[in-house]
Structure 1
Amino acid sequence: MGSFVIRNVLQVHSDQFEGAIIMGSSDYNPLLKPMMPVMEILNKVQPKRHNSVISSAMNIMFNAQLKDKKMDSDHAWLCNNPEAIADYEKDPLCGFDFTNNGYWTLLKLMQGGLAKDWAETIEHDFPMLFMSGKNDPVGYMGKAIPKATKRLKKQGFKHVEKQLYPSMRHEPLHEVENKKVYQDLLNWIEGQLEKSA
């Protein structure tokens, strides 16, 4: 969800940043269009109602894409690390059912952030790093990030990079082998600081 938020923020405020790291993201999804009217009605009728049906459906859909199902958890799609998943499931601020308004807002963020022309208001020399696991169902199992970065380069963006991690899922920072991810983040940030110095 954070990647959809940052894409929407960049559309309006990219001049306030030196670059962006977009992690665990996705790409244009034609299924958003038919989902919008249904969610809009639910949002108008019962905006504050927590919707466990959508939460369950999303978890089932994401977990169904995993080839190596080592964990029996609704949230296994997040990462391969059983400790991180256990911590996530114990935390009352994680994994709860959104309200209808929450899902409506998420769809609006996705609609804005995943459109093919989502970055048209951003300067073409703005640096972006896209990172994700190759086994991230949100990122179409490693297919979304290459498509998104290729499109941005085709649109004239000069400093777009991608990093996909084999065997990692949606949240590479929570994987057992996350040291490489943190090192890649540090290297990219230091590289950007050197360029802007």
Structure 2
Amino acid sequence: MKESNFTFKDKMGQNIFVYKWEGNEGTPKAAIQIAHGASEHAKRYFEFAKTLTEEGFVVYANDHRGHGKTALNDEELGFFAEKNGWKIVVDDMHELTDIIKKENGDIPIFLLGHSMGSFLARSYIIEYGKGIDGVILSGTGYNTSFEIKLGLLISNREINKKGLKTKSMKLQKLTFGSLNNKFKSPRTDYDWLNRDEKEVDKYIEDKLCGGAFTTSSYRDLFNGISEICNLKNISKVPKTLPIYLFSGDKDPVGKNGKGVLKVYNLFKKAGIRDIEMKLYKDGRHEMLNELNKHEVYEDIINWINRHLK
């Protein structure tokens, strides 16, 4: 596998850092674009990308604004933008899609989003769904209108008190603080991620993982979730776009599968014709890093291969 990287300047003038992984020879049969989750970065998808390249795919993954190497310093970690941050991040993803098309010509493109990246991907396909060939949602979830309104209320109060760029531990506790609660005698604060202790420890030791968002980014996040949980907006997704959802049935983000099923049913209600869902027994949030991750990889690859034109 060959790894390279590049940056592109987005519409707001921000340099967005991108990893590219490709096989050593031959034309790729499709491109996979990865949107990572909150408080992590794209390099964490190296092993999954390696497997994809071995199967004939080329893989691109950018560090979102406020994450990884796109964030130039610690102060920028967790910060999207002063306003419209969610839309800007989604537009960055679309700019990367355009770059993928320019570099690879007329090959299929599949977008895979994990966790917050799955929420971003759901916004993406509302706006830009006609430009890709399928979307894969890992560790996604659903929030009620009450949960969203509460999150926005606290976010706006925190912004008024502390400003746009202050890290909010109150909102960090609201959004992530309870995720470990359903696991008995957790070894760490991040046992909810997956059952592989080595992977959990790698996350904890990574200085680019686990940080709090700024007040404005939490507001962006709740505004984004409000958009993607609205059936009227979901109905804008192209009806022929293939969608695959997967999660662990012990993932607290997906409310142990109930939230994932809610999202699946909303897509069905919106008229999506080709949609599949799989819940892995005892799996937690990061199925791509779980104990049975190679089974998960195989399922994803098989789904993509079935949807190649």
TM-score, with structure 1 as normaliser? 0.90
List per-residue Cα deviations over 1:35-85 (Å, max 9, x = no partner).
21221232244111111232234333111133xx36421111111111111
Is 1:71–1:82's contact at 8 Å kept on the other side of the alignment? no
Tell me if 1:115 matches 2:230. yes
Who is 1:143 aligned against?
258
Counterpart selection for 1:133 from 240, 248, 254: 248
- Structure 1 stretches of 4+ with a deviation exceeding 4 A read none
The 2-side partners of 1:166 and 1:101 are apart by: 36
Is 1:28–1:116's contact at 8 Å kept on the other side of the alignment? no
Who is 1:162 aligned against?
277
Other structure's SS at 2:126 match:
helix
The 2-side partners of 1:116 and 1:104 are apart by: 21
The 1-side partners of 2:150 and 2:173 are apart by: 19
Is 1:127–1:159's contact at 8 Å kept on the other side of the alignment? yes
The 2-side partners of 1:74 and 1:172 are apart by: 18
The 1-side partners of 2:122 and 2:218 are apart by: 17
Residue pairs, 1:68-147, within 5 angstroms: 69=184, 71-147=186-262
What is the one-letter code of the residue matched to 2:156? E
Counterpart selection for 1:32 from 142, 148, 153: 148
CA-CA distance at 1:6 after TM superposition: 0.7
Give me the identity figure in percent.
27
Who is 1:59 aligned against?
176
Number of residue-to-residue matches in the alignment: 192
What is the one-letter code of the residue matched to 2:155? M
Q: CA RMSD for the aligned pairs?
A: 1.6
- Where relative contact order (Cα < 8 A, 6+ residues apart) is larger, the structure is 1
Other structure's SS at 2:208 match:
coil
TM-score, with structure 2 as normaliser? 0.59
Structure 2: gaps of 5 or more residues: 1-115
Who is 1:41 aligned against?
157
Is 1:4–1:114's contact at 8 Å kept on the other side of the alignment? no
Q: Which is further off, 152-161 or 180-189?
A: 152-161
Cα 1:56/1:34, change in 2 over 3 Å: closer
Q: Decide which structure has the larger Cα Rg and report it.
A: 2
The 2-side partners of 1:185 and 1:73 are apart by: 29
